[in-house]
Amino acid sequence: MGRKLLLQHINAPGINTLDGYRQTGGYAAVEKALKTLSPDDVVEEVKKSGLRGRGGAGFPTGMKWSFLAKPEGVPRYLVCNADESEPGTFKDRYLMTKIPHLLIEGMIVASYALGANTSYIYVRGEMMPQIRILEKAIAEAKNAGFLGKNILGTGYDLELYVQPGGGAYICGEETALLESLEGKRGNPRIKPPFPAIAGLYGCPTVVNNVESIAAVVPIINEGGDEYAKIGIGRSTGTKLISASGNINKPGVYEIELGVPVEEFIYSDEYCGGIANGKRLKAVVAGGSSVPILPANLILKTINNESRLMSYESLSDGGFATGSMMGSGGFIVFDEDQCIVRNTWNFARFYHHESCGQCSPCREGTGWMEKVLHRLEYGHGKMSDMDLLVDVSKKIEGNTICPLGDAAAWPVASAIRHFRDEFEWHVTNAAEATTRNYGLANYADPLPKVEKTEA
């Protein structure tokens, strides 16, 4: 049984209220940080913990905080990115619904560390219930003296606001989020300048994912060094994984980083195996934008080592044979799922969500979607696969924000690993509309010969 830090008291009665949360030791981190630690100490603890951003990129949070510019007389802001819209990821919503006070406590500690007196939680517009929950929780915290002027008599002031977004995926990109928060069209800004220098209203800003901010609470409670002991290598601590797809027990799981993927899928503690006695075909390990991997490559790395749920191990093998941790949206496909259809579905999503600011992404996502639609409905050509790879290459890396990359990777990786299935959709077009390609050789043991030759 792995250690749980965030979801430890998830089933405690009344955990969503201030009283219930206090009974499980809630707001201890606020008292500890504000009364005994200086802001720099808090940043130092987070640095020591090795906490990496849980939103997808995996950038060390402590380092991000220490980059924040601190000019005199200019306010600084902390913005919590709760615009969780990645297909396959639903951990933040779960956290905010069940334990809103954990996020608020994390916000207070993080704002204190950064010297922010106004902080925002930018919540995706579709999550109206969570917005209500957060607003209620903020009111409770304010009545109890954890927010507002002179918190706990320490002289530190903090106002916390919840801002609903309009429901655009692109507003999860930090600069687009800031634009949206300022009341403008949610177009990503051109970097540099980075938000740490000029963010919200041109002031230094830190944007963090919900889970990253919530993880600050156990870090302060237990100390950064203790936190760093959990996990493996540079992937420290615990991570919330949103498991979905053809598994027996879909849901949000908190894992210690370093759990083997095989254990995560098959053990009863987590996903409980593939549903209906089917076999595993493919896994998207970190939300729709990371490369998809076939069964053999997700369980073992190319060097035939067991693949672990950690930032390093999941990306082992680079783009050729690896994937990424991403935001932890773990989507499992069994042998009955069609990879072409799934790739088309992802491409359709990115086409719909592209902001339209820069040309490769605006035009390329639509193009890829149309070609994949054609393939899925039996009108494809053998040249389409190469076309898709070429288009995805022309988008990748050439856009303002990472949405272009996120749109290109799933398509490129699906063709890299499942080319047979795409070709089968062209050669057996009529059959492809009535049945699936099946498992084929995607779960076969990895060939060793290729590697030794290279």
Partner 1 sequence: MKVTIDGITVDVEPGTSILNAARQIGGDIVPPAMCYYSKLEGSGGKCRTCLVKVSKGSEKDPRPMPKLVASCRTTVMDGMEVQNITSPEVIEARKGVVEMLLINHPLDCPVCDQAGECHLQDLGYEHGAAKTRYEFDRRTFEKIDIGDKIQLHMTRCILCYRCVFTADQITNTRLHGILNRGDHSEISTYIQKAVDNDFSGNVIDVCPVGALTDKTFRFKNRVWFTKPVEAHRDCDKCCGKVTLWYKGEDVIRVTGRKDVYGEVEEFICNTCRFDKKKTADWTIEGPRKVSHKSVISANHYETMKPLPVVKTNPLLQEANKEQFERETRL
From the CB of 69, what's the least distance to partner 1, in Å?
A: 17
User: Which residue, 143 or 359, has its beta carbon nearer to partner 1?
Assistant: 359
- Compute the distance between CA of residue 92 and CA of residue 288 in angstroms, rounded to an integer: 16
Contact 255, 241 (CB under 8 A): yes
- Compute the distance between CA of residue 250 and CA of residue 330 in angstroms, rounded to an integer: 10
User: Which residue, 328 or 404, has its beta carbon nearer to partner 1?
Assistant: 404
Determine the residue type at 139. A
**Dihedral angle computed from the Cα positions of residues 168, 169, 175 and 177, in that order, rounded to the nearest 10 degrees:** 50
From the CB of 362, what's the least distance to partner 1, in Å?
A: 5
User: Which residue, 38 or 359, has its beta carbon nearer to partner 1?
Assistant: 359
From the CB of 395, what's the least distance to partner 1, in Å?
A: 8
From the CB of 66, what's the least distance to partner 1, in Å?
A: 19
What DSSP designation does 187 have?
P
From the CB of 49, what's the least distance to partner 1, in Å?
A: 27
User: Which residue, 397 or 445, has its beta carbon nearer to partner 1?
Assistant: 397
> What b/e sequence results for 248-272 when a residue is b if at least 16 CB atoms lie within 10 Å of its CB, and e otherwise?
eebebbbbbbbbbbebbbbeeebbb
User: Which residue, 356 or 445, has its beta carbon nearer to partner 1?
Assistant: 356
From the CB of 307, what's the least distance to partner 1, in Å?
A: 26
Neighbours of 390 (CB within 10 A): 10
Residues making contact with partner 1 (CB under 8 A): 168, 170, 185, 190, 351-360, 362-367, 370, 387, 393-395, 397-400
Q: Which secondary structure element, helix H or strand E, spans residue 139, and what is its range?
A: helix 128-143
Ranges of H-type helices in 194-338: 210-222, 224-229, 261-266, 295-299, 311-314, 318-321
Contact 279, 273 (CB under 8 A): no
**Burial of residue 184, with CB atoms counted within 10 A of its CB: 0-12 exposed, 13-18 middle, 19 or more buried:** exposed
From the CB of 371, what's the least distance to partner 1, in Å?
A: 8
User: Which residue, 235 or 357, has its beta carbon nearer to partner 1?
Assistant: 357
User: Which residue, 95 or 403, has its beta carbon nearer to partner 1?
Assistant: 403
Contact 162, 100 (CB under 8 A): no
Helices (runs of H) and strands (runs of E) counted in the chain: 20, 13
From the CB of 357, what's the least distance to partner 1, in Å?
A: 5
From the CB of 297, what's the least distance to partner 1, in Å?
A: 25
User: Which residue, 298 or 358, has its beta carbon nearer to partner 1?
Assistant: 358
User: Which residue, 106 or 188, has its beta carbon nearer to partner 1?
Assistant: 188
What DSSP designation does 257 have?
T
Q: What does the block give as tokens for 413?
A: 């990786």
What are the residues whose beta carbons fall under 8 Å from the beta carbon of 326, sequence distance 6 or more?
56, 86, 89, 285, 286, 287, 289, 290
Closest CA to 112 of 218, 178, 39, 10: 39
User: Which residue, 125 or 366, has its beta carbon nearer to partner 1?
Assistant: 366
From the CB of 166, what's the least distance to partner 1, in Å?
A: 10
From the CB of 209, what's the least distance to partner 1, in Å?
A: 23
User: Which residue, 279 or 374, has its beta carbon nearer to partner 1?
Assistant: 374
Q: What does the block give as tokens for 78?
A: 């902390």
Closest CA to 383 of 345, 361, 415: 415
Determine the residue type at 85. S
Contact 10, 219 (CB under 8 A): no
